[in-house]
A = this chain, B = another copy of it.
Amino acid sequence: MAAHEPATLDSVAARAGVSRQTVSNVLRHPARVAEGTRERVLAAIRESGYRASLPARQLATRRAHAIAVRAERQQDGISGLVLDAFYHGLAEAGQDNGLRVVLYAQPADEAAELEIIDDLVQTGAADAVVLTATSADDQRPAYLAGSGTTFCAFGRPWGHDDEPHDWVDVDGALGTGLAVQHLLGLGRRSIAYLGWPGDGAEPSTGSDRRRGWLEAIDEAGLGTPVEIHSLNDAAAAEAAVSTLLAGADAPDAIVCASDTLALGAHRAAVAAAGGGTPTTVVGFDATPVAAALGLVSVAQPIDQAAHLCIDLLTARFESPDRPARGVLVPPVLHLPA
């Protein structure tokens, strides 16, 4: 049963009574081969348990048929993008497209990371990279674009519209908009926003989420809304929200830019309520923490985003010079079980 000498293109060819190249054609360009021959070859392949050698193929085609993605260094934060799902999505979509996913460990700084990426690409270990957690002051996209490395970012090129590249991102504004809709449906009328510092200025993930909240409030014709800001830290958020809730213009609901902020806000709300019903808090990211606290949270369709990244990359492999494309995916509201 076990073929000891692993089958090669040549051994299969001999068995089927054809040439090496014909076997290859059966696998890669079936149309080129006559029906009868094809079947004979397929039978030989099946009988011998032939598996094409990836390295040989890579060497001949000069393509790795693999993409690289960073394995995030342990971030002890409560929320933040949980990448497990993203990795699974990439691997799954990759499998469907003949791409393997290779992981590289996040190094200390961006320079070191760019070195690793170069290495991966130049040694032929990967054809392209998927960038995660991109931010406005990220050096990586510009560098990769400059060095001609194929890549797709999960995250928009905030404020870098000059040097465009392929990207996929979640529509944060839509997410906070959904949160507001939900709260309006619940009868809330004074819906505050808890965002990150610097939210209002430069384009960023934070400003995007804030905008969604603001637009939804405006659209509903509610008065001037309250907004506060805090570093992405539960304790800091708790303090900020405590102050807010103790004040005169205490809202009856708070939309947060992250689940970490939401956790702090929720704690403050519970404390302020003193046994009563706390102010409703909506989070962002739908992490297990939000679920554990019973909070509504905006969920990013990570799996879909991963599939789209692969789609963009395969499309680019086919036409390397096509214009850069960006895709925005809609989030959904996660209600606790």
Q: Give A residues with C-beta under 8 Å from B.
A: 6, 51-56, 58-59, 64, 66, 71-74, 77-79, 82-85, 87-88, 90-92, 94-95, 100-106, 116, 119, 122-125, 234-235, 263, 275, 287-289, 291-293, 303, 337
Contacts and interface: CB of A to CB of B under 8 A. Distances in A.
13 contacts: A53-B123, A55-B124, A71-B84, A71-B91, A72-B84, A73-B88, A74-B88, A88-B105, A88-B106, A90-B103, A92-B105, A100-B102, A100-B104
A59 B124 CA distance: 13
Given A54-B123, A235-B337, 15 more contacts: A6-B122, A51-B122, A53-B124, A54-B64, A55-B56, A55-B58, A74-B85, A74-B88, A87-B87, A95-B104, A100-B125, A101-B102, A102-B103, A288-B288, A289-B292
Interface hub of A51, A71, A87, A293 (most chain B Cβ within 10 A)? A71
A71 B101 CA distance: 10
Interface hub of A83, A90, A102, A288 (most chain B Cβ within 10 A)? A288
B78 A292 contact: yes
Contact of A59 (B6, B59, B104, B291): B59
B292 A119 contact: no
Assembly stoichiometry (copies): 2
A124 B288 contact: no
Contacts of A92: 71, 105
A66 B102 contact: yes
A304 to B, nearest CB: 12
A334 to B, nearest CB: 10
Contact of A263 (B56, B79, B292): B292
